[in-house]
Amino acid sequence: MSAPSDTDQRSWWRRNQMRAAPWLFLAPGIAFFALYVVFPIFQSFQISLYRWDGLGEARYIGLRNYEDLFDDPAFYTSLWNNVRWLVLYLLAIPGGLFIALFLNQQVRGIRLYKSLFFFPFVISQVVVGLVFAWFYNPSIGLFNPLIGLFGFSPMNVLGNPNTVTYGIIAAGLWPQVAYCMILYLTGLNAVDPEQVEAARLDGAKGWPMLWYVILPQLRPATFIAVVVTVIGALRSFDMISVMTNGGPFGSSRVLAYYMFEVSLSEYGFRMGYGAAIAVILFLIMLVYIAFFLWRMWREERGY
Amino acid sequence: MFPTPVEKRSAAIQASYKALLPLALILWLLPLLMVALFSIKPDSDFTQGNLWGLPSSFAGFENYTRVFTDSAMPRYLLNSVFITVPTVIGAVALSCMTGFALGVYRFRSNIWIFFMFVAGNFVPFQILMVPVRDLTLNMGLYDTRLGLVLFHIAFQTGFCTLFMRNFIRALPRELIEAARVEGVSEIRIFWYVVLPLMRPAIAALSVLIFTFIWNDYFWAVVLTQGVETQPVTAGITAFNSQFRAAYHMMSAGSIIAALPPVMMFFLMQKHFIAGLTLGAVK
């Protein structure tokens, strides 16, 4: 402990800069993040206990919004669609791995092929949604003639409540597979060639090679692929909004879309009810966030 | 190398692999190729039922010119630029500082602050929507580009901090220690020692954030309304209702809207992929 004999600011800074500097650097970032991300999460929890149209007086109604939610068939449709998104979206991971294995060669022009396979990911989901909506369109789209080649009769994918969600998920998989592919291509680059050679000498090839030698080395890539795919699935909003507006008859809604619809669409501004849906969505996501942080924390202890 | 390099396989396999590549690519990009084909067709092809055949005449030039002259598309594109560029600068600047603070200093709450940024970055947008919209309204920034930019900066700081902090962790600590021994102040260490080493991370993040923000749709519809403020992702809806059922025009418009991030990707591919796959390799 040194006595504060001189009050010269410069020397105060000299003595304390190791402790003060991190906070100085963190201040603007934390302030922004707290204002726009951290506080709003708690506010949403609070708003979900009110009936509020976004303008007038908010009225406290306790858990009524949640009670209403459990009697709301649209909520169950959305939740069920979210489950479908979550499960089917994970197909992006084996899909991406498959394309990555297919492209992991060194022939002429392969770099360009890799880029072109990847680039659906770079296009905005809005445009991907439009492109697929036209692709499925029964009067102008290539989808029906294409399935016709395999003997299927033409269908209106986005107009049928039984197929619409699968149609949108397939469109969503397109960029997501590209993303997983690039993760795996990077991972494959780092696979230890000596281990592969050693395994080859032991007679490993094909499936066993992939399963016992390659995949364990791709674990970091797989982990990230799972995280981004799960989050992508729960965030699905853009495509639904662009391709179907949740229809037909609300059959393609997911929680993220339904929340937006009740809060901000022409059906009335039910902010409290919307916030309650958002809270449910948040709690689902929290499971994954907790899992991710726990894994990160385990790794950090290694430092 | 896995799978076995084709060079080591028979000539037949090599040849079929090389033949399969373009076929697979065409199949993969088929929906997009269809739209690209639409965008260079004249209107008459659609009424005469010539949908997927060759265009009866090349109307690409005409269609794409009309996107710029007959619609609000230029305005939307400009809005997108004015939303995206300040966000990239702001988020990268903030996260250089937060990443430095969390990557270099050891203090008790370090890991918790870091986790706050990481967790916030994964949060579903909907949990933020009502309060952020309300906050933006109260600040008088609803339906302004600034309102959207401020939110984007704040939200992207989460991901950027994760990225920057991990990057700085991997830098050699000796450099910083040596500078401290020399008596260089912490601020100067940040500016003259660490920041120059962060250039690759800054480049990678900038390209990524550019793409993320350019492609944002949700916040654009939540926080902005009209042609004066909305970016192109939201504007394309208005564009499509203007050219309802004119598929050649809607196709051309969509391609224009999608193009800037695509160009960014092809120009800065190395940085883009480095950023995206951070952590995919150990």
CA B73 to chain centre: 19
User: What is the structure's pLDDT at A3?
Assistant: 47
Q: How many CB pairs under 8 A join A and B?
A: 293
Say if residue B55 is in the same domain as residue B80: no
Residue B254: inside a domain, yes or no? yes
| Contacts with A282 from chain B: Cβ below 8 Å | 123-124, 126-127
Residue B218 has pLDDT above 80, yes or no: yes
Instruction: Mutate one of B28, B94, B109, B130 to test the A interface: name it (highest A CB count within 10 A).
Output: B130
Residue B164: inside a domain, yes or no? yes
Residue B68: inside a domain, yes or no? no
User: What is the structure's pLDDT at A57?
Assistant: 85
User: What is the structure's pLDDT at A13?
Assistant: 77
Q: What own/partner pairs with CB < 8 Å and gap ≥ 24 does A101-105 have?
A: A101/A184, A101/A188, A101/A210, A101/B2, A101/B3, A102/B24, A103/A181, A103/A185, A104/A185, A104/A188, A104/B1, A104/B2, A104/B3, A105/B5, A105/B6, A105/B17
User: What is the structure's pLDDT at B178?
Assistant: 92
Q: Which residue has the tokens 């050693």?
A: A198
Q: CA A142, CA B50: separation in Å to the nearest integer?
A: 12
Closest Cβ–Cβ partner in A13, A186, A289 for B281: A186
Least confident of A99-108, A113-122, B208-217, B265-274: B265-274
Q: Is the dihedral of CA B49, B50, B52, B57 positive or negative?
A: negative
User: What is the structure's pLDDT at A8?
Assistant: 59
Least confident of A8-17, A292-301, B238-247, B272-281: A8-17
Q: CA B193, CA B88: separation in Å to the nearest integer?
A: 23
Q: What is the ipTM of this complex?
A: 0.92
Residue B242 has pLDDT above 60, yes or no: yes
Yes or no, beta carbons of B217 and A125 under 8 Å apart: yes
Q: How many independent structural domains does chain B possess? A: 2
User: Region B241-245: what's the mean pLDDT?
Assistant: 87
3-state secondary structure of B2: coil
Contact with chain B for residue A265, Cβ under 8 A: no
Say if residue B54 is in the same domain as residue B173: no
The predicted-structure confidence for B56-96, as pLDDT tens digits, reads as follows 888 889 999 999 999 999 999 999 999 999 999 999 999 99
Q: Compare all CA atoms of chain A with the CA of B169 and give the residue at the minimum distance.
A: A303
Q: Where in the sequence is the domain holding B86, given as residue range(s)?
A: 73-276
Q: CA A143, CA A197: separation in Å to the nearest integer?
A: 44
Say if residue B55 is in the same domain as residue B77: no
Say if residue B24 is in the same domain as residue B81: no
Distance from CA of A161 to the nearest CA of B (A): 22
User: What is the structure's pLDDT at A5?
Assistant: 47
Say if residue B40 is in the same domain as residue B78: no
Residue B270 has pLDDT above 80, yes or no: yes
Scored b (16 or more CB within 10 A) or e, B254-270 reads bbbbbebbbebbeebbe
Reported as type and span, the H/E element at residue A59 is: strand A59-60
Phi-psi region of A100 (alpha: psi -120 to 50; beta: other; left: phi over 0): alpha
The predicted-structure confidence for B112-166, as pLDDT tens digits, reads as follows 999 999 999 889 999 999 999 999 999 999 999 999 999 999 999 999 999 999 9
- Cβ-Cβ contacts under 8 Å for B70 (sequence gap 6 or more): none
Residue B65: inside a domain, yes or no? no
Q: Which CATH superfamily is domain A68-300 in?
A: MetI-like (1.10.3720.10)
Yes or no, beta carbons of A36 and B135 under 8 Å apart: yes
Q: Which of A185, A190, A106, A205 is nearest to B14 (CA)?
A: A106
- Cβ-Cβ contacts under 8 Å for B142 (sequence gap 6 or more): B133, B136, B223
Say if residue B98 is in the same domain as residue B42: no
User: What is the structure's pLDDT at A2?
Assistant: 46
Closest Cβ–Cβ partner in B102, B127, B132 for A281: B127
- Number of Cβ within 10 Å of residue A35's Cβ equals 15
Q: CA A144, CA B51: separation in Å to the nearest integer?
A: 13
Say if residue B83 is in the same domain as residue B195: yes
Per-domain boundaries in chain A: 9-47, 68-300
Yes or no, beta carbons of B158 and A30 under 8 Å apart: no
Reported as type and span, the H/E element at residue A192 is: none
Say if residue B41 is in the same domain as residue B115: no
User: What is the structure's pLDDT at B282?
Assistant: 54
Q: Is the dihedral of CA A79, A80, A85, A87 positive or negative?
A: positive
Assess contact for B250 and A130: CB atoms under 8 A: yes
User: What does the pLDDT profile of chain A (303 residues) look like in tens digits?
Assistant: 444 444 556 678 777 888 889 999 999 999 999 999 999 999 999 999 999 887 788 889 989 999 999 999 999 999 999 999 999 999 999 999 999 999 999 888 999 999 999 989 999 999 999 999 999 999 889 999 999 999 999 999 999 999 999 999 999 999 999 999 999 999 998 888 888 889 888 888 888 888 988 999 999 899 999 989 999 999 889 999 999 998 899 999 999 999 999 998 766 788 999 999 999 999 999 998 898 899 888 887 765
User: Region B27-45: what's the mean pLDDT?
Assistant: 92
Distance from CA of A10 to the nearest CA of B (A): 11
Q: Domain with B176 in it: what CATH number?
A: 1.10.3720.10
Say if residue B207 is in the same domain as residue B110: yes
Contact with chain B for residue A186, Cβ under 8 A: yes
